[in-house]
Amino acid sequence: MRLPHLDRDYLPAVGLGITQIIGYGTLMYAYAVLLPEMAKDLGLTLSEVFAVLSLGLFFGGLASPVAGKLVDRFGGRWVMTLGSVVAGLALMGLSQAEGRAGLFAMILLAEGAGMFVLYNVAFASVARLDLGVPPQRLISVITLFGGVASTIFWPLTLALFDRFGWQVTWVILGLGALTICPPIHFFALRGPERNAAAPKPANTPDWPELTGRPRKQAMLWMVISFVFSGYLMGAVMTLWVTNVQDQGHTAAIAALAGAVIGPFKTVGRFFEMLVSRNMYPLNTYAISLGLMLSGFLALLTFGFTLPGLLLAAAFYGMGDGIKTIAGGTLPLALFGAKGYGARLGWISFVQMGINASAPFAFAWATQTYGGWWSFAVMAMCLCCAVATYRLIPDPRKSRQRPSGPAPA
């Protein structure tokens, strides 16, 4: 299948893809390397610094609906440009953090600013641009870049720390984000914007929007499914090595298998981009859940062997990568472009509010029952995500029914 040629209509998505690598690398993945080292110098325990991070993520998520509404009203150019400036300054401010209060304040500022520059705002921003490419296609391109953030920034952050220490590392990361991201946001998102109420472009799939009672049902079950499928993500990032070691592997082997997840996120997104031109997002989401669940089943069944462990990491990575795309395209397909930014903001707020507890919940499961059972509970969460996904109404089927009262 022929890849789309890179014309000017794809440039905004490419630019935002680059900023997502930097955004997730500095605002998410750098913590895994630097927080444990900061804890030693700040006189905090490991659990305390990650509790501070969870609180910062939770309260920072309060900004997500605000960011979405601002994009709906003003477009993403200034929202993302100013957000990336604040995020860069906050990252530099982490170099001066002292004690719990200072650390919490800087993380809160950084994660609050992150809600103005990461995936959901990027998705809403490109959806508003008047381009000759369907928004679903641009969302796929953006996520194609973001999958390598951990692959780049985990070793990069570790190398900077080993050479300069955590304080200088935060300054370097902040300066890098401040230098690169604001100009890209400012120039990539310029140009005319599409009116959400205007007719869809000719090359956009003719997907009907839900109305009435099915619309409310779809929002409820979609959000619940997103919560279940996303609840284990933070736990996988923080407990992967510990749980894999509990299955008989060394820390080095566990880290090697974990490193497979990031590249296979990109593989999954690349596959989705190839086949997504006419694929309905409900089907995309189903594929992502199937791959993630297959990964955990392989992990629970054959994870005590190295091939089984690598296969599990590859399946999970591909599914998680595709799920990120579905998180942006499914709400757009079901509910339309009007209010899209605010809708993503509220969905993100609900997910972050609930998912902040995941690392603690699964850590307790690991300590109490062992790593295998912790992985088993994660698989159960995915089973719940599949069950609630099946309750989401399909507007294509609703359109074929005769007019009349909405079905129960």
How far, in Å, CA of 382 to CA of 386, rounded?
6
pLDDT at 403 over 50: no
Lowest mean pLDDT among 139-153, 199-213, 221-235, 313-327: 199-213
pLDDT at 294 over 50: yes
C-alpha dist (Å) from residue 15 to 19, 335, 339, 363: 7, 27, 24, 37
Task: Give the per-residue pLDDT at 285.
Answer: 94
Burial of 2 (0-12, 13-18, 19+ CB in 10 A): exposed
Q: Are the CB atoms for 147 and 266 separated by under 8 Å?
A: yes
Which one-letter amino acid corresponds to residue 305? T
Q: Could you tell me the fold of the domain covering 207-397?
A: Growth Hormone; Chain: A; (1.20.1250)
- What does DSSP assign to residue 193? B
pLDDT in tens, 97-140: 888 888 889 988 998 999 999 988 998 899 888 888 888 888 88
CATH code, residues 7-204: 1.20.1250.20
Q: Where in the chain is the domain with CATH 1.20.1250.20?
A: 7-204, 207-397
pLDDT at 287 over 90: yes
